[in-house]
């Protein structure tokens, strides 16, 4: 392991680019970086596991040939560098071929999550003006209700809609010779739409130079080694999956794994054992569901995992302790956003102190600061908004939302909207979203702390905490709790949970109300949507007042 401080202080952007890229900053192609340069011998690029347990694998060489065929098809249809191609696809090899083929001709790939309905798809296609969309037969009916839908390629050889192109038959008609288009590092290769909690999704372009940042995250934070078997549970329809289950590992010349099925504890255990997964990445939601199985999960995967990483929302200390005690595995918390990628991490491959509850240290190549309401940098011990110092973060690639104002830019800073606190050792701890922080009796309480305390109780699988408007306290703390099957809801259990948090956390930070629910509202990528619960409580109060 290298020392974090020495790596961070000696970071050199141009040297990093020379070492990490086959091309240079004036002539790059994402298909070359993520496929062609590794297409030697029989190096495996992709393992595919179907829900029924059937499996296949593909080498970089195979993907290079199929990406060239798909690229030639796009060229034949008049697709030019900078044009957008969308994918509404499950996790299959066709998805990866479409991505790589799009990149090969200098076009921009746009992901569409397969759980989206027609309106969500339409809104995102309006953002991108995509010329083509690739989908499968299961998702194809959604496009019938999408206004101004672009031309469609469907996996399978017998499309049901006239005018649709069959994926494999179309590929077979084209040559494996397709010259990649070389572009400047500032040219986009991905178009993303943020899944914000309010308002329509905001589009942003990811430039080719972001590959440098993605590779750095895989190397230092994920700690990916040549001998690892790596699996990122995230769906490539979202940023963490597309950045770090597709682009990052492939750019490192490392195989990735697609599981085309719903998340279950059984399938997760089966795949970890079958593929001898040693390096795992996922979300706290997934990890909480896994450890809820207790000994069954532990016995199935013990001895396989070397490194585990978590992203998407803060990692609960209870999950960290469980992995350490039951699996003898370190699970590290990582923080990022669609706009900037992963920027704050506890690194598996860099040596630094790890503080429980901390999101870690700035990724080398970034300067992360904490700002007050006047946008002044704060010292340790004072909560404020997490910000990226863009002028002193050479790896920061976000240039603003596409054809929209970017209110998060204030001078040299990008404001994340998340409330954090700098620690004495230089690490940063997450407090909560700016609009999620609870003010009660003059205290500011982060919902994450209360949720973490609740989850440590054996009856609780998941919890969401909000501030409920209250005339005496400004807000009172209310918890929505999903219980384990072994614990029926009761007023006695609600009181026990309140006392548990009061004793575990603080006298002012316990939930005065506890409501038991079957599930919590989340985005399709698994993030808690506390605002839905908060709005629900406001509506209840207004209804009661009427």
Q: Is residue 240 part of a domain?
A: no
Average pLDDT for 98-109: 98
Task: Check residue 186 and give left, alpha or beta (phi > 0: left; psi -120 to 50: alpha).
Answer: alpha
* Residue 123 pLDDT class (50, 70, 90 cuts): confident
Q: H/E/C letters for each residue in 345-364? A: ECCCCEECCCCCCEEEEECC
Task: Check residue 195 and give its pLDDT.
Answer: 59
Listed residues 179, 198, 217: the one ending a domain:
198
Report whether pLDDT(158) > 80.
no
What is the Cα 50 distance to its own chain's centre?
A: 22
| Residue 514 counted as domain residue | yes
pLDDT tens, position by position, 485-496: 999 999 999 999
Band of residue 198 on the pLDDT scale cut at 50, 70, 90:
very low
Q: C-alpha distances in angstroms, 78 versus 85, 154, 278, 322, 378?
A: 12, 19, 43, 54, 52
The alpha carbon dihedral of 104, 107, 112, 117 has a sign of: negative
Maximum alpha-carbon separation in the chain: 73
Q: What is the pLDDT of residue 192?
A: 97
Kindly list the distances between the CA atom of residue 458 and the CA atoms of 310, 327, 418, 478, in Å, as whole numbers in the listed order.
22, 19, 29, 19
Residue 131 has pLDDT above 50, yes or no: yes
**How deeply is 381 buried, as exposed, middle or buried, from its count of CB atoms within 10 A (0-12, 13-18, 19+)?**
exposed
What DSSP assignment string belongs to 62-102?
Answer: HHHHHHHHHHHHHHHTT--TT-EEEEE--SSHHHHHHHHHH
Residue 172: strand, helix, or coil: helix
Q: Domain boundary residue among 141, 169, 198?
A: 198
Confirm whether 224 is domain-assigned.
Answer: no
Structural domain total, the chain: 2
**Given pLDDT bands bounded at 50, 70 and 90, which one contains residue 424?**
very high
Predicted model pTM = 0.89
Q: Is residue 162 part of a domain?
A: yes
Domain containing 110 — which CATH number? Answer: 3.40.50.12780
What mean pLDDT, rounded, does the chain reach?
A: 93
Domain that holds residue 59: 26-39+52-198
Q: Where are the alpha helices (DSSP H) in 366-524?
A: 447-455, 491-504
Residue 200 has pLDDT above 80, yes or no: no
Average pLDDT estimate for 239-254: 97
pLDDT score of 378:
97
In a domain, 505, yes or no: yes
User: Residues 247-266: what's their mean pLDDT?
Assistant: 96
Are 42 and 36 contacting, i.e. CB atoms less than 8 angstroms apart? no
d(CA 248, CA 245): 7
Asked if residue 178 is part of any domain, the answer here is yes
Residue 310 and residue 348: Cα distance in Å, rounded?
Answer: 12
Q: What is the mean pLDDT of residues 471-478?
A: 88
Judge whether 30 lies within some domain: yes
| CATH number, position 469 | 3.30.300.30
In a domain, 347, yes or no: no
pLDDT on residue 361: 98
| Cβ-based neighbours of 518, under 8 Å, separated by 6 or more | 482
Of 158, 177, 198, which one is at a domain's C-terminal end? 198
């Amino acid at each position: 392991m290298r020392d974090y401080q020495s790596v961070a202080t000696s970071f050199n952007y141009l040297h990093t680019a020379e070492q990490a890229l086959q091309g240079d900053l004036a002539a790059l192609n994402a298909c070359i970086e993520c496929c062609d340069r590794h297409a030697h011998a029989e190096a495996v690029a992709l393992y595919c596991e179907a829900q029924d347990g059937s499996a296949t694998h593909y080498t970089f060489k195979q993907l290079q040939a199929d990406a060239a065929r798909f690229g030639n098809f796009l060229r034949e249809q008049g697709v030019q560098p900078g044009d957008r191609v969308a994918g509404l696809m499950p996790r299959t090899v066709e998805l990866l071929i479409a991505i790589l083929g799009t990149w090969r001709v200098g076009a921009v790939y746009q992901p569409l999550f397969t759980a989206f309905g027609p309106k969500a798809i339409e809104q995102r296609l309006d953002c991108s003006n995509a010329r083509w969309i690739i989908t499968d037969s299961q998702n194809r009916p959604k496009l019938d209700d999408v206004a101004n839908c672009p031309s469609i390629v469907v996996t399978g050889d017998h499309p049901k809609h006239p005018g649709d192109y069959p994926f494999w038959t179309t590929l077979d008609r084209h040559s494996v010779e397709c010259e990649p288009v070389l572009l400047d590092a500032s040219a986009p290769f991905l178009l993303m739409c943020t899944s914000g909690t309010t308002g329509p999704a905001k589009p942003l372009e990811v430039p080719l130079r972001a590959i440098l940042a993605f590779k750095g995250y895989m190397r230092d934070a994920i700690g990916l080694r040549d001998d690892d078997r790596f699996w990122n549970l995230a769906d490539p329809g979202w940023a963490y999956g597309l950045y770090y289950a597709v682009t990052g590992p492939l750019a490192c010349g490392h195989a990735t794994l697609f599981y085309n099925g719903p998340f279950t504890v059984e399938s997760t255990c089966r795949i970890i054992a079958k593929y001898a997964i040693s390096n795992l990445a996922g979300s706290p939601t997934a990890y909480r569901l896994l450890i809820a199985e207790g000994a069954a999960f532990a016995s199935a995967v013990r001895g396989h995992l070397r490194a585990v990483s978590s992203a998407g929302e803060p990692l609960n200390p209870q999950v960290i302790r469980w992995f350490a005690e039951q699996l003898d595995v370190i699970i590290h918390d990582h923080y990022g956003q669609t706009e900037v990628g992963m920027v704050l991490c506890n690194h598996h491959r860099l040596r630094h102190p790890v503080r429980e509850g901390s999101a870690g240290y700035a990724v080398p190549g970034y300067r992360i600061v904490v700002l007050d309401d006047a946008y002044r940098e704060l010292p340790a011990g004072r909560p404020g908004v997490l910000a990226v110092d863009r002028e002193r973060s050479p790896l920061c690639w976000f240039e603003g939302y596409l054809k929209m104002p970017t209110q998060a830019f204030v001078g040299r800073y990008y404001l994340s909207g998340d409330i954090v606190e700098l620690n004495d050792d230089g690490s940063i701890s997450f407090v909560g979203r700016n609009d999620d922080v609870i003010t009660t009796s003059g205290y500011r309480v982060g919902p994450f702390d209360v949720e973490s305390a609740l989850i440590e109780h054996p009856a609780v699988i998941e919890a969401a905490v909000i501030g409920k408007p209250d005339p005496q306290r400004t807000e009172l703390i209310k918890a929505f709790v999903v219980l384990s099957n072994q614990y029926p809801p009761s007023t006695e259990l609600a009181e026990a949970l309140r006392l548990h948090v009061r004793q575990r956390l603080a006298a002012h930070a316990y939930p005065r109300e506890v409501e038991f629910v079957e599930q919590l509202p989340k985005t399709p990528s698994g993030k808690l949507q506390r605002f839905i619960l908060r709005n629900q409580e406001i509506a209840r109060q207004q209804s009661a007042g009427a």
